[in-house]
Chain A
Amino acid sequence: MKPFVRVLEGVGSTVQLMVRAAYFLPTLPRQFGRFIDQCYLIGYTTLPIVAILSFFIGSVLALQAGYAAQNLGPKQFIGLLVGLSMARELAPVMVAVLLAGRVGSAIAAELASMKVYQEIDALETMNIPPVRMLVMPRLVAVVVMMPVLTIIADLVGWFGGAIVAKYTDFIAIEPASYFATMRQYMDFGDVMNGLVKAEAFGFVVVLVCCNIGLNTRGGPREIGAAVTRAVVTSLIIILVLDYFVTKALS
């Protein structure tokens, strides 16, 4: 019963946090510096790892599809397979997972330590709402940066697949053929689907990590536990949400 109540508490406090952040949205111009900082952290510094991961995910996908299509015949559809898989599923999910691991953990650690070392209390004492200064800029930053990261992940993944498809002996498909099937059978709706999913994942990951960080109680040990809890919760929410968002968008 107790874990169930804690889950409900978590959901309730997260929703409250979201509403409070929305309330402080008009103050964004005054928080512009913090917003830029968060954009830099969430977007710019995450780009290399997103690019590397997406390249190899696209490559592996093409390799496995080529292996499967070896006895099947229509190898040119590898382009379509990689394109659709990356755009609709893998890019948004992998970017969100990376965000949870790299940015979510950092947010949870930062806010938890601020909470543990009573910096949050100090802000409240100075009548500065911590949500306005610490949460709202992060949420806006992730909403702005997630589509950028996801489209880069899509494109890098597609090119990774194209390179593997061309230079692997048992696939050997020209990039023109690879991208032709992608263009023929895909439309921008597929890419848009992935961008919307990534937006939802990024927003929820940052919101959950902020909430867990702000609700940390205790000492330094609880900071580590909060980070672990934030990352695990984020990963679970990403995959659960993935199902529902996919169903809603299909």
Chain B
Amino acid sequence: MNNAQQTARVGLFFLLGIALIWVTFETLSGGKVFQDKGYQLIAGFESLKELKEGDEVRMAGVKIGEVLHTRLAGRHAEAVLRIGSQFRVKNDATATIVMAGLIGTNYIGIDLGSRDAPDLVAGAEIRTKNTPDINSVMSEIGQLSQKLEGALGNLGTALGDDPNKPGIIQKIDTLLTENREKIGGTLANIQQITDKVNKGEGTLGRLVSDPKLHDELVSTIEEIKRSATEAKTMIASAQAIVDQVKTGQGPVGTLIYDQKAGDDLKTTIANLRSVSDKIARGEGTLGKLLNDDTMLRDTQAIIKKVDRTLDGLDDTGPISAVGAVANGLF
């Protein structure tokens, strides 16, 4: 092999290597020698979970940037996002940490936001929403399984897994076994009753099979309904009266709700009480009349005297009677 041929092979081999490196570079890194700096956005989260530098930032599933770095900012964590200069993020768009797989790969997902909202400028803080991670979901599932276990335990107890503690099913079984004859008799009676009802025997049977009785029952029910309606009307009227009374209208209302009338009534009652007290004590004419026997006796004596006088008048005639009257008057 001459030198020229050897040199050509080496040159070709070298160029092949360079070409392969370039192809690999194009395939894996998109062929950007100088990375597009784009612009930065800040996304604050309670926890960045598994998010790390270099993770993707996607909008509607399309890669628009990457996580430049992560940092602690006071009581929360912040991810600085590098967004490609050709992509615009609306200021009402929300960023969330999305889990791409169960092996701990995360990315930041940004929604599209509203069409008319203004774009976020470089260095602005994007709205974020904290989502539950796999650990909290698993924890919830754990709690749920505990509850399920408890419920199944209760069900097991009810079904009577433990022979020492009979469950509800076993109790029902025991009840049925012990009362088999009684239940059989009850069922036979029910059968008998239903047979009679079918045949139209007895009150219930006739009610079921006799149309006349049925009509009477229906008319009775209608009567009851009518009575109920009248009662309702009456109650409504009574209610109206009560309302009137409550508003102080009419004599009863005035009596109950008018202060002056009440006071008058009290005064009247007090006067009556005073009069009755005096009568009871025998004071005054009426009191003496009721309590003092002397007056009764005097009255009886007067009546006797009058009686005797009248008897005398019978004898002297009418002139004497006129004369006596005249004497009495003058």
B24 on interface, CB distance cutoff 8 Å? yes
A242 on interface, CB distance cutoff 8 Å? no
Q: Are the CB atoms of B17 and A40 closer together than 8 Å?
A: no
A159 CB to closest chain B CB (Å) equals 12
B20 on interface, CB distance cutoff 8 Å? yes
Segment 9-23 of B: residues with Cβ below 8 Å from A: 9-10, 13-14, 16-18, 20-21
Known: A183-B27, A188-B29, A191-B25. Contact between A144 and B6, CB under 8 A?
Answer: no
The answer for the CA separation of A47 and B20 in the assembled complex, in Å, is: 14
Q: Are the CB atoms of A148 and B28 closer together than 8 Å?
A: no
Chain B interface size band reads 10 to 19
**Contact for B7 among A36, A147, A151, CB less than 8 A:** A36
Segment 74-102 of A: residues with Cβ below 8 Å from B: 74
Residue of A44, A148, A155 with highest tally of chain B CB at under 10 A? A148
Q: Are the CB atoms of A147 and B17 closer together than 8 Å?
A: yes
Residues of A within 8 A of B18 (CB): 148
Q: Are the CB atoms of A44 and B7 closer together than 8 Å?
A: no
B3 on interface, CB distance cutoff 8 Å? yes
A51 CB to closest chain B CB (Å) equals 12
The answer for the CA separation of A231 and B6 in the assembled complex, in Å, is: 27
Q: Are the CB atoms of B28 and A44 closer together than 8 Å?
A: no
A110 on interface, CB distance cutoff 8 Å? no
Segment 95-141 of B: residues with Cβ below 8 Å from A: 101, 103
The answer for the CA separation of A162 and B35 in the assembled complex, in Å, is: 30
Q: Are the CB atoms of A191 and B13 closer together than 8 Å?
A: no
A199 on interface, CB distance cutoff 8 Å? no
The answer for the CA separation of A190 and B54 in the assembled complex, in Å, is: 13
A149 on interface, CB distance cutoff 8 Å? yes
Q: Are the CB atoms of A149 and B17 closer together than 8 Å?
A: yes
Q: Are the CB atoms of A44 and B24 closer together than 8 Å?
A: no
Q: Is the interface of A mostly helix, strand, loop or mixed?
A: helix
Mask of B305-317 contacts with A, CB within 8 angstroms, 1/0: 0000000000000
Known: A44-B13, A144-B14. Contact between A188 and B24, CB under 8 A?
Answer: yes
**Contact for A44 among B3, B10, B103, CB less than 8 A:** B10
Q: Which residue of A lies closest to B14 (CB)?
A: A148
Segment 6-42 of A: residues with Cβ below 8 Å from B: 33, 36-37, 39-40
Q: Is the interface of B mostly helix, strand, loop or mixed?
A: helix
Q: Are the CB atoms of B27 and A39 closer together than 8 Å?
A: no
Residues of A within 8 A of B17 (CB): 43, 145, 147-149, 151-152
**Contact for B13 among A43, A74, A187, CB less than 8 A:** A43
Mask of A180-191 contacts with B, CB within 8 angstroms, 1/0: 000100111111
Q: Are the CB atoms of B28 and A39 closer together than 8 Å?
A: no
A62 on interface, CB distance cutoff 8 Å? no
Residues of B within 8 A of A43 (CB): 10, 13-14, 17
Residues of B within 8 A of A238 (CB): none
The answer for the CA separation of A36 and B4 in the assembled complex, in Å, is: 10
A149 CB to closest chain B CB (Å) equals 7
Q: Are the CB atoms of B28 and A40 closer together than 8 Å?
A: no
The answer for the CA separation of A149 and B17 in the assembled complex, in Å, is: 7
Q: Which residue of A lies closest to B1 (CB)?
A: A40
Segment 115-153 of A: residues with Cβ below 8 Å from B: 144-145, 147-149, 151-152
A108 on interface, CB distance cutoff 8 Å? no
Residues of A within 8 A of B27 (CB): 183
Q: Are the CB atoms of A148 and B13 closer together than 8 Å?
A: yes
Q: Are the CB atoms of B21 and A44 closer together than 8 Å?
A: no
**Contact for A188 among B3, B7, B25, CB less than 8 A:** B25
Q: Are the CB atoms of A195 and B10 closer together than 8 Å?
A: no
**Contact for A154 among B16, B24, B103, CB less than 8 A:** B24
Q: Which residue of A lies closest to B32 (CB)?
A: A188
**Contact for B28 among A144, A152, A186, A195, CB less than 8 A:** A186
The answer for the CA separation of A186 and B54 in the assembled complex, in Å, is: 11
Contacts beyond the supplied A152-B16, A154-B24, A191-B25: 16 A-B pairs with Cβ under 8 Å: A33-B3, A37-B6, A40-B6, A40-B9, A43-B13, A43-B17, A44-B10, A148-B16, A148-B18, A149-B17, A151-B17, A151-B20, A151-B21, A188-B29, A191-B24, A195-B21
Contact residues of B with A, CB < 8 Å? Answer: 3, 6-7, 9-10, 13-14, 16-18, 20-21, 24-25, 27-29, 101, 103
Contact residues of A with B, CB < 8 Å? Answer: 33, 36-37, 39-40, 43-44, 47, 74, 144-145, 147-149, 151-152, 154-155, 183, 186-191, 195
List 9 A-B pairs, minimum CB-CB distance, nearest first.
A148-B17, A188-B29, A39-B10, A188-B28, A151-B20, A188-B25, A151-B21, A36-B7, A44-B13
20 intermolecular pairs with C-beta atoms under 8 Å apart: A33-B3, A36-B6, A36-B7, A39-B10, A40-B6, A43-B13, A44-B9, A44-B10, A147-B17, A148-B13, A149-B17, A151-B21, A152-B17, A155-B24, A187-B29, A188-B24, A190-B28, A191-B21, A191-B25, A195-B21
